[in-house]
Structure formats: C-alpha cells, structure tokens
A and B are shown apart, each in its own frame.
Chain A
Amino acid sequence: DAMVIQNPRYQVTQFGKPVTLSCSQTLNHNVMYWYQQKSSQAPKLLFHYYDKDFNNEADTPDNFQSRRPNTSFCFLDIRSPGLGDAAMYLCATGRIEGSTEAFFGQGTRLTVV
C-alpha cells in the first residue's frame, strides 16, 4: 500500500564520500520534491521536479544534486557530505491539478561520520 518509498531508511556515510538517496512513487504524480529536515525543524525544500523540469531553490548548496530518470523515480546525490548535512531527507510527491496535498515518504536519516 506504500505510495512514496524511500531507500534506505537509514544511511551512514563518511565525511566527503558521495552518497545517493532514492525515492520511488506509485501515485503517478508529476511533481516530486526533496526536503531536508533537521532535528525538530520545518522541512526545507531543496528542489523539485515538475515532470522532467528541474527547479532548484536559490539557497540549496551546489553539493546537492538530483536526478529524475522517469516519473516514478527520483534521486538525491550529495557529492561531498559534510557534518552539517546530517539530517532527515524527505521525498514527497504532488499533483499540479487542484493543488492537493503532498504525499511524503518515510524519509532517509543520513548520518555523516
């Protein structure tokens, strides 16, 4: 019954070692989002895709990249993780029509050691 699936749930990476987080959806939504959420804070939008159109937030560091090879999948690449990148990363999907709610995955908790 899962609709937005993130893998892995927990990821430990070394300082400076590239890491990729993945997200898939079964909702066929045309918008996919990546949010960064630090402890007890609001989710912060990093970027989103409208279909294949990539939209980067102005304050998203260059260290963060994303790929969306098809409607169902979206990846978050962190090229050189720093200690400050340790956070929960949330993937979400949405539809343009009707501005319905965003649907969230369970998140990937990233630890940088």
Chain B
Amino acid sequence: AQTVTQSQPEMSVQEAETVTLSCTYDTSESNYYLFWYKQPPSRQMILVIRQEAYKQQNATENRFSVNFQKAAKSFSLKISDSQLGDTAMYFCAFTSGTYKYIFGTGTRLKVLA
C-alpha cells in the first residue's frame, strides 16, 4: 500500500526566514507524482508545487522549492523568505497510475511577525 508520512505536526518560522517541511512516502511504483498543497485557515486547498518522479531536477516555484530524493523516498518543501500569508496547513500528496491522491497528515506552519 502507498503511504505518505509527515512527521512534523507543527512548525513555526520567523517572517523572512527559511523553513523546510518534511515528507516521506512509500510506493513500489516507478512513475508517480508528488505534490505539496497549502490549506489556509477556512480556505481552499491549493497546489503549491508538483514533482514528477521521472524528473531528476527539483521543482521550483518562486519562493517554494523541493528536495526530491527518489531513492530515499523523501520529498521536502523549502519555503524561502517566509511571509505571513504562508501561514497554513501544508499537505504532502502522492498519486500514481491509479489517479487516487493520497495525503499525509499535514504540517501546520505558522509564520511569526
């Protein structure tokens, strides 16, 4: 069975600093996709960044980047220059050919002014 694990229930970071959220997963598939989703309080879940497993290059979207270690089955999210608007629940998610999305338990990130 495929699983996604986020071992940090809560984190905090000072505004303008950098924070890294961890995610590990388990699968026997060779081709799959990994995502980080952001869910602000009482707001819609939106995609932050996506990584295709067959691509070795780490994905980057502005202040957000990932460290994808396929052999270690690790997929961490780095947020640079943290902003107050980054305060949210962050979910790591996985999908393969079954087109089901499997989510981790989330990391609640608080950015401090």
Residues in A lying within 8 Å of B, measured CB to CB: 31, 33, 40-43, 45, 48, 50, 90, 92, 94, 96, 99-107
Contact = CB atoms under 8 A, between A and B. Distances in A.
B97 A99 contact: yes
B108 A40 contact: yes
B99 A99 contact: yes
B44 interface: yes
Interface of B: 32-33, 35, 37, 43-47, 50, 89, 91, 93, 95-97, 99-106, 108
Nearest to B96: A99
Contact of B106 (A33, A42, A92, A96): A42
Given A50-B99, A99-B96, A101-B35, A107 B106 contact: no
Contact of B44 (A48, A50, A94, A105): A105
B44 A40 contact: no
B100 A45 contact: yes
Given A90-B45, A101-B47, A101-B50, A40 B99 contact: no
B27 to A, nearest CB: 13
Nearest to B47: A101
Contacts of B47: 101, 103
Given A99-B95, A101-B35, A106-B44, A40 B106 contact: yes
B89 A94 contact: no
13 contacts: A33-B101, A40-B108, A42-B91, A42-B106, A43-B103, A45-B101, A45-B102, A92-B101, A99-B99, A104-B37, A104-B46, A105-B44, A107-B45
